[in-house]
């Protein structure tokens, strides 16, 4: 019997996960394609927190699938992936944050997550750097972990390759050719062609470049994200300190080899026109040194109320990159109604690492003709219909999706 040929464009965390799940089916011939190497895009700089509790039960279900898959990957590869199960803290410092964290707890209870409310004194023991004078309470999830995104992407791809998938690196896709509303082939920049039956567009910030020629406008924009890493101080930053989410400061943190990594939800996250992005982002200026310093000084003031020694400790460096955010804060996941056998996995809302397992499983279920384990109607790729995704108003809505995000990372 002839195998169904499936091309996945983009070997980041989502595309590699799709390859992992699709390669389980012996009736599929899977091709994972990237213009550079596996995990070299957004996955190469992601903060990589895998906090489980989310306000949306559907997102939590996607995250739970990732947790299960990480365990399975370790078994299939014969060694652990290097995940750090250090737990996470949701920090309460106001009535507003208490209400939001209680709501998160209620959702987490539906998934039977292990958790514990801990006192400010216990928080101080776990986080020597934190000034707990404003902390009223904290919800601790001891099973939460982090895992470098590029490591997870590579593990997905490695197992897929062991099962027979073909990994095509350093080859840029120019076009998805469609005939009679059906996917026909992939055309590379060098005009080589690959005849396929199915295409999965997991090209991240560049997904729209492949879909728009076929009248499919995906409702996302690449939005700048950034985080800072302090100078090392093992007195303040023990290796086993938990990750934190501090809603009232719009900050998340995680340990970083004797230092502290922290991200701030800046109020004016910048959205970019994907047509203006270079193919090679090396040297691309996501943000000027002056602008990041202003964000740190102005919007970091709330964080300094929890970390009074930040200025004294000092910043070693900062990192900036893209994540794809949608205008309605919902993922892009599913099949095109316009083009047969054209699927999409993008618009990750800054949670690509955490939801990757769920995304890959759903794409594989759809292509296999199975009912997805989760209702994905709200994530339909063409839910906005025809619209102009390059207007200032649309870009601002995508930017707001990041700036207004309070739970998870």
Does residue 104 contact residue 53 with C-beta atoms inside 8 Å? yes
DSSP H helices, 248-318, are: 289-298, 301-304, 310-313
pLDDT at 185: 97
pLDDT at 80: 93
pTM for the model stands at 0.96
> Can 4-67+149-221+327-403 and 81-145+222-322 be said to share one CATH topology?
no
pLDDT at 277: 83
User: How much of the chain is in helix, strand and coil states, percent to nearest 5?
Assistant: 35, 25, 40
**165-168 contact pairs (CB < 8 A, 24+):** 165/19, 165/22, 165/23, 165/30, 165/31, 165/32, 166/29, 166/30, 166/31, 166/32, 167/11, 167/19, 167/32, 167/38, 168/31, 168/32, 168/33, 168/34
| CATH 3.40.50.2300 applies to domain 81-145+222-322 | no
CA distance 29 to 184: 15
pLDDT at 235: 94
Residue 24 C-beta-side C-alpha neighbours within 13 Å: 18
pLDDT at 41: 82
Average pLDDT, consecutive stretches of 10 residues, N- to C-terminus, the chain (409 residues): 94 98 98 95 84 95 98 96 96 96 96 97 97 97 96 98 98 96 96 98 95 96 93 95 96 96 87 84 84 90 95 94 93 97 96 97 98 97 92 92 71
CA distance 77 to 86: 23
173 — phi, psi (to 5°)? -85, 125
Tokens at residue 146, please?
A: 């982090």
Does residue 211 contact residue 218 with C-beta atoms inside 8 Å? yes
CA distance 149 to 41: 10
Q: Which residues are within 8 A (CB) of 281 and not within 5 positions of it... i.e. 6 or more apart?
A: 41, 321, 322
275 — phi, psi (to 5°)? -70, -20
pLDDT at 289: 87
Q: Which residues are within 8 A (CB) of 278 and not within 5 positions of it... i.e. 6 or more apart?
A: 284
The helix or strand, by DSSP H or E, that contains position 104, with its residue range, turns out to be: helix 95-110
**4-9 and 145-146: which strand pairing?**
unpaired
Tokens at residue 347, please?
A: 């618009």
Does residue 225 contact residue 269 with C-beta atoms inside 8 Å? yes
352 — phi, psi (to 5°)? -55, -40
Full DSSP string of 8-63: EE--SHHHHHHHHHHTT-TTEEEEEE-SS-TT-SGGGT---EE----SSHHHHHHH
pLDDT at 321: 87
Q: Label residues 80-106 b or e (16+ Cβ within 10 Å = b).
A: eeebbebbbbbbbbeeebbebbeebbe
Choose among 255, 253, 264: nearest CA to 405.
264
Does residue 196 contact residue 185 with C-beta atoms inside 8 Å? yes
Choose among 174, 144, 149, 153: nearest CA to 225.
149
The domain ranges of the chain are: 4-67+149-221+327-403, 81-145+222-322
CA distance 373 to 361: 8
CA distance 157 to 237: 33
CA 2, 210, 215 angle in degrees (round to 5)?
100
**1.10.3720.10, 3.40.50.1000, 3.20.20.140, 3.50.50.60: CATH of 4-67+149-221+327-403:** 3.50.50.60
């Amino acid at each position: 019997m002839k195998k169904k040929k499936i091309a996945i464009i983009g070997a980041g965390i989502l595309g590699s996960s799709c390859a992992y799940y699709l390669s389980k089916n012996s009736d599929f011939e899977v091709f994972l394609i990237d213009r550079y190497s596996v995990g070299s895009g957004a996955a190469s700089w992601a903060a990589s927190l895998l906090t489980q509790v989310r306000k949306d039960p559907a997102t939590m279900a996607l995250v739970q699938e990732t947790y299960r898959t990480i365990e399975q990957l370790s078994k299939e590869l014969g060694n652990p992936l290097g995940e750090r199960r250090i737990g996470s803290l949701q920090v309460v410092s106001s009535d507003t944050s208490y209400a939001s964290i209680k709501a998160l707890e209620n959702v987490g209870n539906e998934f039977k997550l292990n958790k514990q409310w801990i006192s400010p004194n216990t928080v101080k023991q776990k986080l020597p750097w934190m000034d707990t004078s404003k902390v009223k309470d904290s919800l601790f999830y001891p099973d939460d972990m982090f895992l470098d995104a590029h490591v997870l992407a590579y593990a997905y791809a490695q197992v897929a390759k062991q099962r027979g998938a073909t990994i095509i690196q350093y080859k840029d896709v120019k076009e998805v050719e469609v005939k009679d509303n059906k996917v026909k082939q992939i055309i590379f920049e060098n005009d080589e062609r690959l005849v396929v039956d199915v295409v999965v567009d997991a090209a991240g910030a560049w997904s729209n470049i492949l879909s728009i020629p076929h009248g499919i406008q995906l409702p996302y924009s690449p939005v700048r994200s950034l985080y800072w890493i302090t100078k090392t101080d093992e007195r303040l930053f023990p290796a086993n300190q938990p990750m934190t989410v501090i809603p009232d400061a719009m900050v998340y943190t995680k340990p970083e080899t004797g230092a502290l990594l922290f991200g701030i939800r800046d109020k004016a996250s910048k959205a970019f026109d994907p047509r203006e992005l270079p193919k090679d982002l090396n040297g691309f200026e996501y943000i000027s040194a002056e602008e990041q310093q202003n964000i740190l000084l102005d919007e970091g003031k709330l964080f300094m109320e929890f970390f009074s020694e930040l200025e004294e400790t000092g910043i070693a460096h900062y990192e900036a990159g893209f994540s794809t955010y949608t205008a309605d804060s919902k993922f892009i996941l599913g099949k095109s109604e316009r083009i047969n056998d054209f699927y999409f996995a993008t618009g990750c809302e800054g949670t690509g690492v955490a939801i990757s397992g769920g995304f890959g499983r759903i794409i594989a279920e759809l292509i296999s003709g199975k009912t997805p384990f989760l209702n994905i109607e709200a994530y339909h790729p063409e839910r906005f219909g025809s619209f102009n995704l390059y207007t200032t108003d649309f870009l601002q809505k995508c930017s707001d999706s990041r700036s207004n995000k309070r739970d998870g990372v």
